[in-house]
């Protein structure tokens, strides 16, 4: 049971993907405070590992940082009625042009619980077949696909060279899956 009770909520912004709510709370000691929360529909991420033990990554422009970032495949759960595995499979084709015989859930994490309710479901994709990319949007059209040995990807996470949190989590969970 939380010592904090939500007493009010106000929608501040409604966008295509996210919304922002202001929540008002009272603590069991009587303190009142507000928090602004980004509401997100959730996301999937996919760590595609081929038969040679290489991770397939995408380097794409991210407007929030104004530069390309090397990442695992990921996407927002923005298609009504689409289950998580279908979203993961769709993103895998769109971003890196692969279909997977097997998808296995590696884990679920919260991206930034200090201000956002987004949860990301991370899948391992194996049994990969190249089907050609089907990019959605200008960032994916301009993106490049890169392959790294899983061990090198882990080293890059530990050195701070793979800086995307979703990618770091996914790579480390995949390495754990393979006992590395």
Q: Say how many residues make up the chain.
A: 180
Q: CA-CA distance, 160 to 180, in Å (whole number)? A: 18
DSSP-derived secondary structure letter, 64: T
The pair of three-digit structure tokens given for residue 15, joined into one six-digit string: 């966008």
C-beta separation of 120 from 42 below 8 A? yes
Catalytic site includes residue 136: no
Phi, psi (rounded to 5 degrees) for 120: -115, 130
Out of 140, 142, 146, 152, which one is annotated catalytic?
A: 140
Supply the residues annotated as catalytic: 140
């Amino acid at each position: 049971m939380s010592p904090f009770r939500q007493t009010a909520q106000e929608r501040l912004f409604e966008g295509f993907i996210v919304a922002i709510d202001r929540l008002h709370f009272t603590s069991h000691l009587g303190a009142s405070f507000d928090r602004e929360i980004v509401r997100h529909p959730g996301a999937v991420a996919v760590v595609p590992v081929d038969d040679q033990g290489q991770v397939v990554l995408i380097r794409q422009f991210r407007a929030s940082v104004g530069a390309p970032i090397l990442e695992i495949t990921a996407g927002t759960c923005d298609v009504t009625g689409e289950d998580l595995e279908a979203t993961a499979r769709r993103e895998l084709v769109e971003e890196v042009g692969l279909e997977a015989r097997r998808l296995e859930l590696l884990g679920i994490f919260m991206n930034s619980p200090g201000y956002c309710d987004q949860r990301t479901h991370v899948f391992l994709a194996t049994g990969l077949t190249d089907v050609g990319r089907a990019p959605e949007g200008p960032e994916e059209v301009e993106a490049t696909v890169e392959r790294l040995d899983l061990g090198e990807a882990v080293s890059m996470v530990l050195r701070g060279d793979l800086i995307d949190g979703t990618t770091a989590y996914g790579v480390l969970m995949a390495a754990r899956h393979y006992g590395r």
